[in-house]
Amino acid sequence: MAIKKLNVSSSTQTESLPISKPESRLYMSFIYVAFISLFIGGLMGLLQVFVRSGRFTLPWGIDYYQVLTVHGVILGLVLTTYFIIGFHFSLMGKTVGISDKQRKVAWLAFWVMVIGTVMTAVTILLGKASVLYTFYAPLKAHPVFYIGLALVVVGSWVAGFVNWRQVYLWKKAHPGEKTPLLAFMVTINTLLWFIASLGVAATVLIQFIPWSLGYAETINVLVSRTLFWYFGHPLVYFWLLPAYMAWYAVIPKIIGGKIFSDSLARMSFVLFLFFSIPVGFHHQLVEPGIDATWKFIQVVLTFMVAIPSLMTAFSMFATFEITGRRKGFGGLFGWFKHLPWKDVRFFAPFVGMLAFIPGGAGGLINASHQMNAVIHNTIWVTGHFHLTVATTVMLTFFGISYWLIPHLTGRTLTKKINKLGIIQTIVWTIGMTIMSGAMHIQGLLGAPRRSSYSEYGGGEQVTEWIGYQMAQAIGGTILFIGIILMVYIFVKLAFFAPKGEEEFPIAEEEEDAEPTPKWFENWKLWIGITVALILFAYTIPFVDIIQNSPPGSVPFDWPIGNN
Amino acid sequence: MHLHKYEKIWLVFGIGSLIAFLLILGYGAFWQGTHPQSHGVTIDPNNIEAHEAFQEENLGLTKVDDDKYIVNIVASAFNYDLGKDEEGNPVKHIRIPKGSTVLFQVTTPDVVHGFNVAGTNVNMMVEPGYISSLETVMNKSGEYTIVCNEYCGVGHHLMYATVEVYE
């Protein structure tokens, strides 16, 4: 361990910069798109659970899979990416600042992403791209669908480059000081996103676009799937890490405590950078064309990514206990009872943390090599990520919104909205418990995910499944009520809440905290290890896939009703 | 970097569990042969009949020995082709005696499909250019629905067949 410590001047520890009006407008623009997406995507989810109950058919000849494509793309790609970039920018603006020039480039990122999103949305709405958000070849969507997606990714890169520039300039102006914790975390997450999205960019630009335009006759299906999942798993960590940022560096402030350990928080983020990318094969465990030993090697790496989550879980509960005891609440669980349960900024993310316990355990099951065959592509998987991303991540994002939006719009979180937020969290929890629970059980009984209502010839198994689909319809309806509540809260906080100043809560370290070691700032080392792990996990199997490729596939557009 | 004593205990316990899980998985996979299907056998998706198993007369259930069966299936949007019965109707239901060893071989001439004998470990991706195969012992009687569990287009949910395992 390097011994040389950084000079920590107390002023930088508490430094938090004011956010100007033009900055707020930029950050809020990303968040507007996120909440519009939440509403549309949620409505699509409601339609899906209705159709799957067997008691409802979509009007006007709308296809189930078109609705499902909208749901996946708008919630999985649009809502998440926009909210995260808006949140990233807010954190950077608050901790390291943004220049006018950087802000202009950030607007460019926003508009490139919006143009891409609109292009993709139009093709989906015209029924030309019902390929779901994974767009597996050789199903062929309209070329504009892929070009739009590429623009969204490129726009997000521009946003990431701005973030790196912000940190770089701050470092230059503050020689010898450690990067503020939140800026460090944003840097890691944008790095993770950039390295991962190179995979999806490669398959979209080199494979899908030429092939869908007719310049290439065939596509290598397994290569495209492998590149997609090289991106697809770090994608979920790109969603999760902003939630962890709030847990590590915001929640302690809200409950009146301090950061448990600055170094530990940085360490867990570095580990996420290492282990969330070289693991894509665990989404491809039951595929015919990938060597079993390499699948297993990536399973081992996948399990490594549980370690930073274990560290996070410890830090959270340690913070809760230390804070509670310091406030004088003794006993084995006295500190727990006195957490600020009535403060939605704490309550919503806390429920999110709890959901990650079954969510993470389910994830280990999914990644367990041969055990994957029990649940692969069953609706268990849908239940799994509705716990992780749709509960853990979403409730934390909502928890962030309660203070971030009024802070940016110059309004306040009133008691009434706070109470409504608590109700929203409870509604979400009840709805998700019913829906996700039913999905998990139904999946264990073998029912497929991504499927419209079907009686499959009416076997005994199927009758059992349909009962659980009724439960999902009930849970999904409750969740939609939760979405309406959240959108109402958003509109209130953005436009109607009383003017005032809402706190941007950033926790501080303990007075006597051990200084953070200097080697945490060694970006070359972190990137080097990340790249080495990726090359180790992918080079041999990828060469093997290409060398043993079957003839490529021509485009198929008729199966998705696009001919 | 300082780690709290309790945190060390917690991490040793956590990482220890992960290692234990991995050892169990590895033992099952490498010593007991329970790897997920990964044969890497390729086929020309434009000419699957060139492979003997997927010629029309070889589709569906074939008894190869006492208690040994092969099931060859062509998955295409939106149908599982299990061959034709004596009257020339497509087979949608196969019967296998309990305790038989069954080899499932599946391929596709078009898009990606799934192949899951619901409620069992027979769960494979079916991708153009590859033959997916899995050998299993069907030792629980009952009726199982075969479902396509990877989205393959507008008729995806209409793709199924049934397997009856009888005493």
From B40's Cα to the closest Cα of chain A, the distance in A is 4
Asked if the Cβ–Cβ distance from A454 to B34 is below 8 Å, we say no
Comparing C-alpha atoms, which of A89, A77, A169 is closest to residue A404? A89
Asked if the Cβ–Cβ distance from B116 to A284 is below 8 Å, we say no
The three-class DSSP label of residue A158 is helix
Q: Is A450 a catalytic residue?
A: yes
First to last CA, chain A: 62
Point out the catalytic residue in the list A385, A468, A504, A542: A385
Residue A339, Cα to own-chain centre: how many angstroms?
27
Asked if the Cβ–Cβ distance from B77 to A556 is below 8 Å, we say yes
Asked if the Cβ–Cβ distance from A556 to B110 is below 8 Å, we say yes
Q: Assess A519–B contact: CB distance below 8 Å, yes or no.
A: no
The chain A residue lying nearest B6, using CA atoms, is: A314
Contact A204, A149 (CB under 8 A): yes
| Structure confidence at residue A13 (pLDDT) | 45
The chain A residue lying nearest B39, using CA atoms, is: A288
Q: CA–CA separation, A10 vs A503, rounded Å?
A: 20
Comparing C-alpha atoms, which of A492, A491, A482, A561 is closest to residue A45? A482
The B residues from 1 to 30 touching A (CB cutoff 8 Å) are: 1-4, 6-7, 10-11, 14-15, 18, 21-22, 25-26, 28-30
Identify the architecture of domain A17-506+529-560 in CATH.
Up-down Bundle (1.20)
Beta bridge partners of B71: B61, B104
Q: Assess B137–A contact: CB distance below 8 Å, yes or no.
A: no
Q: Is A386 a catalytic residue?
A: yes
Asked if the Cβ–Cβ distance from A307 to B14 is below 8 Å, we say yes
Residues of A in contact with B155 (CB under 8 A): 559
The helix-helix angle for A221-249 and A344-366 (nearest 10°) equals 150
The A residues from 148 to 207 touching B (CB cutoff 8 Å) are: none
Q: Is A385 a catalytic residue?
A: yes
Point out the catalytic residue in the list A27, A50, A146, A237: A237
From B47's Cα to the closest Cα of chain A, the distance in A is 10
Point out the catalytic residue in the list A225, A384, A407, A411: A384
Contact A447, B118 (CB under 8 A): yes
* Unique residue bearing structure tokens 């220049």: A99
Q: Is A142 a catalytic residue?
A: no
Q: Regarding beta strands B60-65 and B100-107, do their DSSP bridges make them parallel or antiparallel, or are they unpaired?
A: unpaired
Asked if the Cβ–Cβ distance from B130 to A264 is below 8 Å, we say no
Asked if the Cβ–Cβ distance from B11 to A289 is below 8 Å, we say no
Of A225, A318, A450, Cβ closest to residue B151: A450
Asked if the Cβ–Cβ distance from A446 to B147 is below 8 Å, we say yes
Q: Assess B86–A contact: CB distance below 8 Å, yes or no.
A: no
**So what's the ipTM on this one?**
0.95
Read off the amino acid at residue A559.
P
Asked if the Cβ–Cβ distance from B123 to A370 is below 8 Å, we say no
From A222's Cα to the closest Cα of chain B, the distance in A is 8
What tokens appear for B84 in the block? 């034709």
Q: Assess B145–A contact: CB distance below 8 Å, yes or no.
A: yes
**Alpha-carbon separation of residue A422 from A282, A346, A348, A399 (angstroms):** 37, 10, 7, 10
| Structure confidence at residue A14 (pLDDT) | 46
Q: Is A237 a catalytic residue?
A: yes
Asked if the Cβ–Cβ distance from A459 to B22 is below 8 Å, we say no
pLDDT tens for chain A, residues 1 to 563: 344 444 444 444 446 888 899 999 999 999 999 999 999 999 999 999 999 998 888 888 889 999 999 999 999 999 999 999 999 999 999 999 999 999 999 999 999 999 999 999 999 999 999 999 999 999 999 999 999 999 999 999 999 999 999 999 999 999 989 999 999 999 999 999 999 999 999 999 999 999 999 999 999 999 999 999 999 999 999 999 999 999 999 999 999 999 999 999 999 999 999 999 999 999 999 999 999 999 999 999 999 999 999 999 999 999 999 999 888 887 888 888 888 999 999 999 999 999 999 999 999 999 999 999 999 999 999 999 999 999 999 999 999 999 999 999 999 999 999 999 999 999 999 999 999 999 999 999 999 999 999 989 888 899 999 999 999 999 999 999 999 999 999 999 999 999 999 999 999 988 888 888 888 989 999 999 999 999 999 999 999 999 999 999 999 999 998 76
Of A63, A288, A373, Cβ closest to residue B123: A373
